[in-house]
Amino acid sequence: MTKKHLIYLTLILIFTGLVVFLYKAVVLDFPLAAKARSDIWHIEAHLVFVSDNNPVKVSMNLPRNSHRFAIINENFISRGYGVNVVTEDGRRKVHWSVRKARGTQNLYYRASLRRTDRELLSKKPEKDGLKKPEFKDAYREASEALVSEAREKSADFAA
């Protein structure tokens, strides 16, 4: 690596760090002083059910950003399930799905929320204007392998 490459890499990393810092300080209103405190709430949900080798699709409502609270971290934990987060009628939902589930199933959701007094700018979801991509040769084979693996894990076409 030449000295020029090292300088570019350093500048890119510094810029990325500053952008993340400014986002947390300005948008999420994180405290900047060392001794300043901020209350963070942790929300957890644990879903348990028994399945007998059938397709499973589970939906759950999720918290959303508001002018009073901001979601700063969110985790979905589920072995072998496909996870899809969607907004339906202004409400956030998670859909877990799997083609075949047997025995006791455990699904976990965990979120960290922070109180904020700022009005957060909410992005409106874009209209669905997806087009089917055209791949050739090795790219088509790779994409078909990924799609078939995803279909094995999903409960239905929409998942």
Residue 67: the pLDDT is 80
Query: Does 44 lie in the same domain as 28?
Result: no
Positions of the chain with pLDDT lower than 70, given as ranges: 117-130, 155-159
Query: Does 67 lie in the same domain as 17?
Result: no
Give bridge partners of residue 85 from the DSSP assignment: 94
In this structure, what CATH number is given to the domain that contains residue 45? 2.60.40
Residue 125: the pLDDT is 54
Query: Does residue 105 lie in a domain region?
Result: yes
pTM of the predicted structure, to 2 decimals: 0.57
b vs e for 29-52, b when ≥16 Cβ sit within 10 Å of the residue's Cβ?
Answer: bbeeeeeeeeeeeeeeeeeeeeee
Query: Does 27 lie in the same domain as 65?
Result: no
Residue 59: the pLDDT is 93
DSSP letter (8 states) at residue 114: E
Residue written as token pair 């948008």: 27
- Closest to 144 measured CA to CA, from 135, 153, 155: 135
Residue type at 82 in one-letter notation: G
Query: Which range of residues forms the domain containing residue 86?
Result: 39-144
